[in-house]
């Protein structure tokens, strides 16, 4: 128990250092993009956040399969940590995407395939978390949640394919010099994006592991409560029986 | 631990302000290729009052003449905030109305020009670098506020539970 | 193979017979879907061109929302009668139980559509009763039944299953709804198979993937 906080602190320091490096690169080092200007710097937040949200789905899928195979609670904890952190990252991806789209495309929302996919996945994993909140804790909840998590993961490529078809069928209501967003991702831009992605991945691991720890504590509390109520029950039943034995003659007399 | 997060959040936010300012000073030299922005001064129509082109007055006082064709796309918002997105060929009358509205309001537009023909006519606001910094700041602040709020909640729950575990363990004893 | 098919049919027939007596599932789907469609005829001023634009979307939104009600009911009946445990005790593999349930739900949704489509056609004045749309409707019903049966079985034991099922079912079936709406739009606009072949492929892929995935996962649902 004593060694654990040290690792966490080191990891936190590592995350902070990488984040500081990312900030420096994003705001001071990488040159301004010629078409969009400064707002293009949103890329270095938006894309890494989106990337980690996708990693979260893979994590949920792997953890769910592993849980169904091994029935080890740790996999379930990992899936919860992945889902909750993933929902946070997906929400951030959506918000940053919308705030970026408004000045560049003139609209808050477009039918862009990746945005649509993330929105739907966001809803699926919110439902996953709500299911866990509604269902009484226990083996059944873990098992059913793993099934939902897996169905969501299986759905991901299908949703993406559908969203792409949709985007092609409904050209977005976006025109103008900023509509083609295919700015090249090489040189300093690519390097900054790479560093930012690594930094956000490290941050994701940190946040998810904190959530994992919290989940473990919750389980511990539950186990302790059960132990205490069992103890109380045992005390109550034993004292009950001694009482009835001792009171029986008294009542008889 | 909790105080640490609050401190880090404040520090990062404070760090963001000069960074944005410095980034802004670096950006003023970045001009956009083939894009011209300005206020519409003259609207040119043919004998059947169809829009054929217009004259832009740019920030430097230059006058730029552009013409439109069927594939010119428009993305303009009127004073009521009603956004119209279409190609010129789809609805030439609406295009003329919108351009006139834009001129009457002195609302600047950004035009993408190739060989004197406009391929896109959109509100200047979209390309305004200075205005966009507010959006960039919003993106930055939302990302960080989101993380810190979440980590803050998680770490508070952790310390609550740690206390509870301690109390319960002593009970089980 | 033949024996399995017979088992699947027996299981589905059990649901169909129950439904024949109570009629609550199909009736719920039909009435709810028609209500949604009727409300839209008041909410949107239906000029002919606007009806063509929004009609397919309204139709499939109505079918999807109403379908959730029916799917909910189909497992609620089992839960209320405690017959799910009985079903699990039968010496039949879990996959066959799943396919039996899917077949039952598929038939319910399809029967409901037989009523919904003509009424929709009358109210919106657009012609949807064509070979193309019928194929799309069958594909969509099959996908709805596959995903819906798996999720209904998952959410049947939750306190508030009426809330849980749509929250799980609707986002997951978004690709199928997209495919159905887009293909129906193409048909309404006078297109034929070639104009929406990609959407058709998407619907078929969705059906196949979720038939298999749900069947595999279903055995974990019914595990004690």
**For position C4, what pLDDT does the model report?**
83
Query: Phi and psi (nearest 5°) for B62?
Result: -75, 150
pLDDT at residue B8 tops 70: no
Q: Spell out, as residue ranges, where chain C has pLDDT lower than 50.
A: none
Assess if residue A1 is contained within a domain: no
Find all residues with CB under 8 Å of C184, minimum gap 6, and list them: C56, C59, C60, C128, C133, C136
Residue of chain C whose Cα is closest to the Cα of A121: C171
**For position A41, what pLDDT does the model report?**
82
Q: Does A126 sit within 8 Å of C182, measured CB to CB?
A: no
What's the CA gap between C180 and C178, in Å, rounded? 6
Q: Give per-residue pLDDT as tens, A83-132.
A: 999 999 999 999 988 888 877 777 788 778 888 889 999 999 999 999 99
Q: Which positions in chain A touch C214 (Cβ < 8 Å)? A: 151
Q: Does B128 sit within 8 Å of A103, measured CB to CB?
A: yes
Chains A and B in direct contact, meaning 3 or more beta-carbon pairs closer than 8 angstroms:
yes
Q: Does A42 sit within 8 Å of B27, measured CB to CB?
A: no
Chains C and A in direct contact, meaning 3 or more beta-carbon pairs closer than 8 angstroms:
yes
Of B27, B151, B164, nearest to A37 by CB-CB distance is B27
User: A222 lies in which domain range?
Assistant: 42-173+185-234
Q: Provide the mean pLDDT of chain B.
A: 76
Assess if residue A12 is contained within a domain: no
Find all residues with CB under 8 Å of A187, minimum gap 6, and list them: none
Distance from the Cα of A252 to chain B's closest Cα (Å) equals: 38
Q: If you write DSSP's letter for every residue of chain A in order, what string do you get? A: --HHHHHHHHHHHHHHHHHHHHHHIIIIISPPBTTTBGGGGGHHHHHHHHHHHHHHHHHHHHHHHHHHHH--HHHHHHHHHHHHHHHHHHHHHHHHHHHHHHHHHSSS----HHHHHHHHHHHHHHHHHHHHHHSPSSHHHHHHHHHHHHHHHHHHHHHHHHHHHHHHHS--S--STTS-------HHHHHHHHHHHHHHHHHHHHHHHHHHHHHHHHHHHHHHHHHHHHHHHHHHHHHHHHHHHHHHHHHH-
* Cα→Cα distances C210→A47, A168, B127, C149, C205, Å: 30, 25, 45, 11, 8
Assess if residue A3 is contained within a domain: no
Number of domains in chain A: 1
What's the CA gap between A230 and A98, in Å, rounded? 53
Assess if residue A119 is contained within a domain: yes
pLDDT at residue B4 tops 70: no
Q: Does B168 sit within 8 Å of A217, measured CB to CB?
A: no
Q: Give per-residue pLDDT as tens, C139-158.
A: 999 999 999 999 998 888 88
Assess if residue A165 is contained within a domain: yes
Of C178, C182, C209, nearest to A154 by CB-CB distance is C209
Q: Give per-residue pLDDT as tens, B120-150.
A: 888 765 545 555 777 888 888 888 888 888 8
* Cα→Cα distances C88→A68, A209, B147, Å: 19, 38, 45
What's the CA gap between C36 and C54, in Å, rounded? 13
What's the CA gap between B113 and B118, in Å, rounded? 4
What's the CA gap between C170 and A112, in Å, rounded? 20
State the DSSP code for B31.
P
Q: Give per-residue pLDDT as tens, C29-45.
A: 999 999 999 999 888 88
Of A32, A42, A96, nearest to B26 by CB-CB distance is A32
Q: Which positions in chain A touch B172 (Cβ < 8 Å)? A: 224, 227-228, 231
**For position B108, what pLDDT does the model report?**
79
Distance from the Cα of C203 to chain A's closest Cα (Å) equals: 9
Find all residues with CB under 8 Å of A15, minimum gap 6, and list them: A199, A202, A203, A206
Neighbours of chain B (3+ CB pairs under 8 A): A
Burial grade of B80 (CB within 10 A; 0-12, 13-18, 19 or more): exposed
Of C179, C210, C220, nearest to A147 by CB-CB distance is C220
Q: Does C160 sit within 8 Å of A144, measured CB to CB?
A: no
Q: Spell out, as residue ranges, where chain A has pLDDT lower than 50.
A: 1-2, 244-253
Assess if residue A163 is contained within a domain: yes
What's the CA gap between B133 and A40, in Å, rounded? 10
Q: Which positions in chain C touch A130 (Cβ < 8 Å)? A: 164, 167
Distance from the Cα of A45 to chain B's closest Cα (Å) equals: 8
């Amino acid at each position: 128990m004593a060694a654990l906080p040290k690792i966490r602190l080191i990891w936190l320091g590592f995350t902070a250092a990488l984040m500081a490096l990312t900030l420096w690169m994003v705001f001071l080092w990488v040159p301004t993009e010629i078409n969009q200007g400064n707002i293009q710097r949103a890329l270095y937040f938006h894309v890494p956040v989106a990337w980690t949200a996708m990693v979260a789905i893979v994590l949920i899928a792997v953890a769910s399969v592993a849980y169904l195979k091994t029935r080890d609670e740790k996999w379930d904890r990992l899936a919860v940590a992945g889902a909750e952190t993933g929902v946070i990252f997906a929400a951030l991806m959506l918000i940053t995407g919308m705030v970026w789209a408004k000045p560049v495309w003139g609209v808050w929302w477009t039918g862009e395939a990746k945005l649509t996919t993330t929105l739907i996945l966001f809803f699926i994993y919110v439902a996953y978390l709500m299911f866990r909140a509604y269902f009484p804790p226990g083996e059944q909840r873990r098992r059913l949640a793993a099934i939902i998590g897996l169905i969501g993961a299986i759905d991901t490529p299908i949703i993406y394919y559908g969203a792409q078809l949709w985007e092609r069928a409904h050209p977005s209501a976006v025109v103008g010099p900023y509509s083609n967003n295919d700015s090249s991702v090489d040189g300093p831009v690519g390097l900054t994006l790479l560093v930012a992605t690594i930094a956000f991945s490290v941050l994701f691991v940190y946040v998810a592991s904190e959530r994992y720890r919290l989940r473990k504590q919750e389980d511990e509390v539950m186990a302790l409560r059960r132990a205490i109520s069992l103890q109380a029950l045992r005390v109550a039943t034993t004292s009950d029986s001694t009482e009835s034995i001792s009171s029986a003659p008294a009542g008889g007399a | 631990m909790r105080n640490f997060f609050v401190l880090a959040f404040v520090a990062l936010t404070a760090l963001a302000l000069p960074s944005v300012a410095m980034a802004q000073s670096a950006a003023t030299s970045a001009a956009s290729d083939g894009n011209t922005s300005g206020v519409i001064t003259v609207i040119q129509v043919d004998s059947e009052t169809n829009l054929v082109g217009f004259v832009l007055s740019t920030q430097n006082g230059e006058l730029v003449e552009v013409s439109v064709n069927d594939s010119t796309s428009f993305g303009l918002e009127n004073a009521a905030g009603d956004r119209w997105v279409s190609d010129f060929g789809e609805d030439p009358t609406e295009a003329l109305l919108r351009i006139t509205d834009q001129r009457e309001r002195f609302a600047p537009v950004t035009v993408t020009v190739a060989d004197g023909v406009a391929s896109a006519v959109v509100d200047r606001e979209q390309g305004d670098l200075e205005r966009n910094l507010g959006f960039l700041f919003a993106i930055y602040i939302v990302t960080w506020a989101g993380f810190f709020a979440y980590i803050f909640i998680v770490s508070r729950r952790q310390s609550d539970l740690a206390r509870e575990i301690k109390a319960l363990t002593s009970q089980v004893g | 193979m033949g024996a399995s098919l017979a088992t699947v049919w027996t299981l589905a027939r059990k649901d169909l017979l129950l439904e024949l007596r109570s009629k609550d599932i199909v009736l719920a789907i039909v009435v709810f879907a028609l209500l949604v469609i009727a409300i839209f005829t008041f909410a949107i001023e239906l000029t002919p061109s606007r009806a063509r634009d929004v009609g397919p979307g309204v139709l499939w939104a109505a079918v999807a929302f109403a379908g959730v009600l029916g799917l909910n009911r189909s497992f609620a009946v089992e839960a209320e009668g405690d017959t799910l445990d009985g079903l699990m005790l039968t010496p039949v593999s879990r996959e066959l139980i799943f396919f039996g349930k899917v077949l039952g739900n598929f038939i319910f949704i399809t029967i409901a559509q037989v009523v919904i489509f003509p009424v929709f056609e009358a109210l919106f004045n657009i012609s949807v009763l064509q070979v193309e749309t019928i194929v799309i409707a069958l594909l969509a019903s099959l996908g709805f039944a596959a995903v819906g049966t798996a999720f209904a079985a998952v959410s049947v034991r939750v306190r508030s299953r009426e809330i849980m099922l749509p929250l799980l079912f609707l986002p997951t079936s978004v690709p199928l709804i997209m495919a159905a709406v887009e293909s129906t739009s193409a048909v309404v606009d006078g297109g034929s198979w070639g104009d929406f072949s990609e959407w058709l492929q998407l619907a078929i892929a969705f059906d196949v993937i979720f038939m298999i995935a749900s069947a595999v996962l279903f055995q974990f649902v019914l595990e004690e």
